[in-house]
Structure 1
Amino acid sequence: MDPIEEQIYVIIFATIFLAGLMSTFVISMIFIHRQRQNQNRQKIEHMQAEYERTMLNIENEIQNETLSHIGRELHDNIGQLLSLAKLNFNSSKPEKKTEGQTILNQVIQEVRGLSKTLNLDWVEETSLEDFIQQQLSKIESTGFCNTKLDYHGEQLQLNKDHKLVLIRVIQEVLNNAIKHASPKNIEISLESNGKGKNIYIKDDGKGFDVSKASNGSGMSNLKKRMQTIGGEFYITSKKQKGTEIKLSLPK
C-alpha cells in the first residue's frame, strides 16, 4: 500500500471516528436535555401540587374559623336577640311588641350577614387594605394595644389566590403578636411602587431570638406559604426590641 492510499485510509478512519464521536456527543446531549426536561416537569408538577395543597389548607382554615365565628355569633349575639324578642312579644304592651319586631328585623340582618361569610366570595369583594384595617380595628377595639395602617404608593392589585394566602399569613402574624409579644403598638405598612410590593408588620413587644425560633414549624410554614405565590417572608426581632416581618411580593 503506497503512502497516498495510507493517508486516504487514515482520513476515512478519522472521519468515521469523528462522526461517531459527534453522534455520541449529540445523542448524549439529547439524552441529558430530555432528562432535564423530565426533572423540570416533575419539579413543576410538584410545585403545582404543593400550591394546590396550600390553597386547600388555607381555604379550610379560613372556613373553619368562619364556622367558629358563626357559632359564637349564633350563641352569644343572635341567641340573645331572639330571647329578648321573645320577652317583648310575650308582653301585653303594644310598644313592647313593636320593640320585639325591631329586634327581629335586626336578627334577620345579622343572619344575612353571617350567611355571606359561609363562602369565600368576600375575598374577591374585599381589598387587602380593607381586610387589614378591619383586623387592626378589631384588635384596637378590645383595648389590647394601639394599631396603625400606612399606605405608600398604589393599592395592591392581587388575584383571589394571592390575596387568600396573604390574608392567612397576616392573620397568623397578628395572632402571634397578640399571643406572645404583648405589644403596646402594632403597625402595618403597605408599599407598592416600581421597586416592588411589600407588607411590613411591626410591633414593639417582647421580641425573641430569631435563630432559636427558626426551628419551629410556625415560621417555616409562613415562609412556605409565601413561596407558593412567588413571595418571600423575612423576620427580624430582638428581645425587648419588638419584631418586624416583611412580606415581599413578586412584581
Structure 2
Amino acid sequence: MEKWLDPKTVAIWILVVLAVIAILAVSFVKLVRINFKRMVENRLKESRMKLEYQKNLLESGIVVQEQERKRIAADLHDSLIGKLTILRLKNQTEYNREQIDLLLGETIDEARRISHDLSPPMLEFIELNELLEDMITPWKKFLTIHFYTNIDTTATINQNLKIQIARITQELVTNIYKHSGASDVCIQLKTTKTNLALVVRDNGKGFDYEEAKKGIGLQNIELRMVYLRGSHKIKSSSKGSTAIITLNHLQFGNQ
C-alpha cells in the first residue's frame, strides 16, 4: 500500500487541512471584527465631529442674534431716539416749522428703515427679486452693483425662504463693502420650478477662506444654509471672490 494511502497519514492530512481551515476562519472572523470595530469607531468619530460642528453653529447663531439685537438697539438709540430728542428740543426752544418738518421726515424714514430691516412689509406679495433689489439699493451709493435675474414666474417662493436669502445676500454685500476693497459687485438670481441659485461676485482683493470662515459673518451664512438644507461654495483669489448658493425651494412649501 502506498504510504500516502495509510489511514494514519490520511488522518494527519485531514487534521492539517482542518487546522488550516480553522486558522483561516478565526483570522477571517478577527479581520471582520477589526474592520467592523474600525467602521463603528469612524462613524462615532464622524457623529462626534458633526455634533461639535452643529454645536459651534448653534453658538455662532446665538452670537449673531445677540449682535443683531445690539445693532437694532443702537439704531433705535443713536438714530431714531436721537432725532426725536432733537425734534423735541427744537420744538421747546426755537420753533421752526421747516426744520421740524424736515426732522419729522428723517425720523419717519429712519423708523421705516429699522422696521424694514426687522421684517420687510407685504412680504407675501413681494417677489424675491424685488426684495433683493430693494435690499441692495442703499448699497449702490458705495458700490457699483449689477443685478441680473432669470425668474420662472410659475415658481412660488416661501416667505421665510425669501427672508433668509435676503439676509444672506445682505451679509455677503456687507462683507464685500467692509473687507474686500471691491468697486464692482455682480449679483445673479435664478429660480426654476424646483430650484434656486444665487451667485454674488466681486472684483476685490480676495481673502483667506479658511481664516475668514472662523468669523461671525461666514458662520452666519453657513448657519442659514444648514437651516435651508442647501449647499454653498465660496471661492476667493486676488482677482475677487465668488459665492454660489443653491437649494431646492419646494421643500419649504409655497407659503
User: Shared topology, TM-score over 0.5?
Assistant: yes
The answer to whether the 8 Å contact 1:149/1:189 transfers is yes
Q: How many residues align?
A: 224
Partner in structure 1 of residue 187 of structure 2? 188
Partner in structure 1 of residue 208 of structure 2? 214
* SS of residue matched to 1:2: helix
Structure 1 residues 28 and 11: alpha-carbon distance in aligned structure 2, compared to 1, 3 A threshold: same
1:189-231, CA deviations, whole angstroms, 9 ceiling, x for partnerless residues?
Answer: 223458861322335xxx43x4xx4389447645555555341
> Does residue 71 of structure 1 match 2:77?
yes
1:34: how far off? Answer: 1.1
1:14: how far off? Answer: 2.0
Partner in structure 2 of residue 232 of structure 1? 233
The answer to whether the 8 Å contact 2:132/2:166 transfers is no
If the length of structure 2 is used for normalisation, what is the TM-score? Answer: 0.64
Residues in 1 aligned to 2:144 and 2:165: alpha-carbon distance in whole angstroms: 28
1:114-151, CA deviations, whole angstroms, 9 ceiling, x for partnerless residues?
Answer: 88579x5559x5876455434432234x5x45544221
1:73-121, CA deviations, whole angstroms, 9 ceiling, x for partnerless residues?
Answer: 2344322333455569x89xxxx8xxx9x99998997797588579x55
Structure 1, gaps ≥5 residues long: none
Structure 1 residues 145 and 247: alpha-carbon distance in aligned structure 2, compared to 1, 3 A threshold: closer
Structure 2, gaps ≥5 residues long: 1-6, 226-230, 248-255
Structure 1 residues 132 and 57: alpha-carbon distance in aligned structure 2, compared to 1, 3 A threshold: farther
> Does residue 23 of structure 1 match 2:29?
yes
Of structures 1 and 2, the one with the larger relative CO (CA 8 A, separation 6+) is: 2
Partner in structure 1 of residue 250 of structure 2? none
Structure 1 residues 63 and 133: alpha-carbon distance in aligned structure 2, compared to 1, 3 A threshold: farther
Q: Please provide the CA RMSD for this pair.
A: 4.4
Q: Give the percent of matched residue pairs that are identical in Structure 1 and Structure 2.
A: 8
Partner in structure 1 of residue 136 of structure 2? 136
Residues in 2 aligned to 1:14 and 1:220: alpha-carbon distance in whole angstroms: 57
Residues in 2 aligned to 1:216 and 1:29: alpha-carbon distance in whole angstroms: 33
Residues in 2 aligned to 1:38 and 1:64: alpha-carbon distance in whole angstroms: 39
Residues in 2 aligned to 1:32 and 1:72: alpha-carbon distance in whole angstroms: 59
> Does residue 172 of structure 1 match 2:180?
no
- Correspondence 1:144-155 to 2 at 5 A: 144=142, 146-154=144-152
Residues in 2 aligned to 1:163 and 1:135: alpha-carbon distance in whole angstroms: 7
The answer to whether the 8 Å contact 2:64/2:220 transfers is no
The answer to whether the 8 Å contact 1:66/1:117 transfers is no
| One-letter identity of the residue aligned with 1:231 | H
The answer to whether the 8 Å contact 1:55/1:165 transfers is no
